[in-house]
Chain A
Amino acid sequence: MYLVADNARGAGEGAAASLPSDRWQDFPYSTLSHHGELCCEIAREWVIANDFAQLNGGDRTTGPRWMRAKYEWGPSVWPLHWCEAVSRKVIDCGAHSALAHEAFVARGLTAYRAQFVQRYSADATAQWRLKWGGEQASDHWLTDDVIYHEGNALLVADGVVKLWDGSAGWWLNPRQTGGYGSVASVRIFADTDQPLRWGEHRIVPNTWHQIAAPAVEPAMDEAQSSAFFKK
């Protein structure tokens, strides 16, 4: 993730955050740099041509999972150039998102860069902090139990998107609104003001959208509820 003030800690650092995304309010999505020479152009052309080859005759809206198979998810030190990103064995979510975006657009699809805030646990973030620190990479994306993450929004129908998590190689599940790994906030960078539908969620582009936590199931009465939680 390319942030100018990478390790300088954002303005929201330390402040009491009312929303999971507050800390990353002004964070841009990651952008691969280009040396302006053949090295980076070869890398870019290779990603596009290889992505089409890997489609294997399948549907163009298939997620480019080959990228996750080729590049493990892990720390990247930014800035990162095209020629550097494609020669790494490990790249972070920002690089994954940048590569996937290039592939989607080259396929003739409408795709947008996307940012997520996801819920994990203190144990998970401690592990990641250790790993990123060991590689001298910024850990600005970690807090105690939520993380900043990047992916892609792919327009699959008029006003309807699917969210691709290239670091994991899967589409995010819009039905999950709470718990470990769930999406707490989404921001989609789109050239439209019209809300985009992700599952049942209506997401206004270019601003953080908070995903509602699951409502208490009204059909479960008190007796049933206590019986369930005793199990």
Chain B
Amino acid sequence: MKIYVSGLYSGGNPQPGIGIARSVREAFPEATMVGVEYSNRVSGIHWDGFDDLWIQRPWDELDLEAYGERVTEELDAGALWISGSDLEAMWLADLLPEGHPNLLAPSMPALRRITKPAVEAASGLPVKIPTHTSTDRSDWDLHAFCRQHNWRVWLKGPYYDAARTPSWDVFEAARNALTKVWSTERLFLQAHVTGYEESVMLSAYRGELLGAVSMRKRDITAEGKTWAGDVSEVAPEFLAPLRAMVKDLNWTGGGELEMVRDAGGQLWLLEMNPRFPAWVHGATLAGHNLPGLLVERASGQRAQPAAHQSDEFTRIVLEVPVRDEFPLPPLPEPFAGAVGHSMKHPSGLTSLAKKLHKTNPELIAGSAGDDEPHDPLPAIPETFIDDIRSYDFAEVQTPQFLFMDSTASSLFRKAAERSHRLSTNGVTVASGYSIKTNPDERLIKLALNNGFYAEAISLLELHKALEVGFRPDQVILNGPGKWWPEGMMPRERMHAVFCDSVADLDRVVVAMNAGELSAAHVGVRIRTPNITSRFGIPLDSPATFRKLIEAVKRLPTDTAFGVHFHMASANVGVAQWWHLLESMLKWCRSIEKLSGRTIEILDMGGGWFPDDWHASEDGKFATAVDTVRTMLPGVREIVSEPGKAMAQPSMALAMRVLEIQEHEEDYVEAVVDASIAELPMYFFYPHRMLRQCGETGELQPIGRGKTHLMGRLCMEHDIVAANVELPEGTRAGDLLIFCDAGGYDRSMSYVFGRG
């Protein structure tokens, strides 16, 4: 009996070929084992258990038609083939659409039904699929997905490769890299699931489940791959639907369901691989020889019984002699001045991927199972369009920030209405406008007119609020720079002052006793542990907590006490923000208990992305208000400060195209008269963009493409947008409008390159 086994890569992220061959050898000592590989750099070819080797040229060189004929001849001649490579299995399924009794790999219809991330075929298993979305969607939507999942997300390639993307700039870099490697933009984002990784391996022939085992990872490589594990029987509640799934798919070959078990015991399916896993021989050592069962069933020859040696396995590193007939190839020359040798995918798998998804595009991950409708263009609110149309751009000297009058008015009015709805007889809910997000007088005025407090972090900001019309008792002062500039602290009673440190608190106490500062509420800003922040009084040790308690006791007792908690939800994620709020309330309860001071005002918020704040239903906020009332019954006022959620949509940036440079392969560089000096937040979140058609005046949304918008500055990193698609006909002089530029883009913009 002759058995071909492929997938012999044996590096840190190994393929299963060696494990398959070892297991088959134990079951059939007399079989002729042939190792198949597509690179002589793969170390597995030197394993001495192979009787022969079939080394092919890398996939990017192979004539697939001729090679397919050779493989078919071998199968027809009676040889069995066990594929240890996902992509090779796909190619074989494509080569033999009707299957072949000696091809021990799944068919194309079966492969289509296990496409990740949805893995439709696994719907009967007791598993959940982690939330995911296709990168077909607009950047605006992808950023929202990341925020909703606390930036604990993975960007995954169509077949292999995954990258953690904890921020927008990392996401963009990873997307560019994966897109280039796999020649497709069809990637997907998946929410991270915290837990322990485990797998179920199966062996099946023509829909009959021959065997299955569970494995829990017990030691993991830096790449997250199995280094040790324990093996056990598959639980009955999993086995029955697994058997049904195998039958339904008419599955042949090995397979692996990769999962995570969360702290609550729920299994989450990450993907199903159409082959045995690399740890396959670990199961054989535990008495479960699944490749042996497969060959036994396909060949009709009886396998040697599997010997149980241990329920646990681990790996060691062994040096083996190199076969004389396949001496080691030279290392590629490092690129001049570069570090290391580019060695990834020596067998040319990425080239095979490119060929395969031309013929079978449905096999590409992320292309199925995401039921939500995808619009590659971001939705532009009607008020944006109305506001932009109100400008006569013939009179606008670009680059120019555009005040979005009706948008801003609407946002402030809705926030005020929400506060009113959430208020009760016992607890007033108010809004605060963070002046630093945009000190434009029009926005401060809107805040005043809608009943907001003005939240200032310096005395200059405070006086700006007073100049616009706020009274001192409508002002909240906080931050570490509240004493700057010297001599400007108002003597009138402010609404609240929050101290950023114990030293700050002591200074406030002294100033209040001296009559140099007056506030209806004085409190502290707290810095909850486990989240990186430089603001507030830390709570990360019992000693610092004790200092806080002692400091709170020093506050004047004739002034109401309060706590201030701000954390940028856009950075930590929405769910994480709500958890932090709950955590903060628990700290508050402890502070009340230990200091003897009742908390009467809570100031919370900061850094909300506009969509998360404005689109969020009242219910979430109402629950938060109820929780506050339950946990801190002394609270009389909750000040909700949404941060940039008010300012960001309230301005846009108009710019003009200066020049368009067309390069090879549709790559375009367009130079604009704006720059990162006007869009300093470009790296942190995507902006919705419009182009005004020079002929019709129509406003056209800009999607993703191969154009880079280069700023006017002679600075290498002055790129205001990467990978966008300018509408057909765009030319020098055309107007582009970047929405969502009214927050820190506006307030942190700087004068640069203007002479």
Contacts and interface: CB of A to CB of B under 8 A. Distances in A.
Interface of A: 38-39, 41-43, 45-46, 48-50, 52-62, 66, 83, 86-87, 156-157, 173, 175, 217, 219-220, 224, 227-228
Contacts of B586: 48-49, 52-53
Given A43-B542, A228-B307, 9 more contacts: A42-B546, A45-B593, A50-B529, A50-B539, A56-B579, A57-B576, A57-B579, A224-B307, A228-B309
A57 B263 CA distance: 12
Contacts of A217: 287, 308
B230 A175 contact: yes
A55 B579 contact: yes
Contact of B287 (A48, A157, A219): A219
B232 interface: yes
A104 B216 CA distance: 26
A64 B542 CA distance: 17
A46 B539 CA distance: 8
Contacts of A62: 194, 263
Contact of B542 (A60, A61, A66, A83): A83
Contacts of B578: 57
B263 A49 contact: no
B630 to A, nearest CB: 14
Nearest to B589: A49
B227 interface: no
Interface of B: 150, 194, 230, 232, 262-265, 287, 305, 307-309, 311, 528-530, 539-543, 545-546, 549, 575-576, 578-580, 582-583, 586-587, 590, 593-594
B530 A56 contact: yes
Contacts of A219: 287, 305, 307-308
A46 B549 CA distance: 11
A42 B539 CA distance: 12
A173 B228 CA distance: 14
B529 A54 contact: yes
Nearest to B587: A49
Central interface residue in A41, A42, A49, A55, by most chain B CB within 10 Å: A49
Contact of B528 (A38, A39, A46, A53): A53
Contacts of B194: 58-59, 62
30 contacts: A38-B549, A38-B594, A41-B594, A42-B545, A42-B546, A42-B594, A45-B545, A46-B545, A49-B586, A53-B528, A53-B529, A53-B539, A53-B586, A54-B529, A55-B583, A56-B530, A57-B576, A58-B263, A59-B194, A59-B263, A62-B263, A66-B530, A83-B542, A87-B543, A156-B265, A175-B230, A175-B311, A217-B287, A220-B307, A227-B307
A59 B542 contact: no
Nearest to B286: A217
Given A41-B594, A228-B307, A54 B530 contact: yes
Contact of A59 (B150, B264, B309, B546): B264
Given A50-B539, A175-B230, A59 B308 contact: no
B587 A53 contact: yes
A220 B308 CA distance: 6
Contacts of A57: 150, 575-576, 578-579
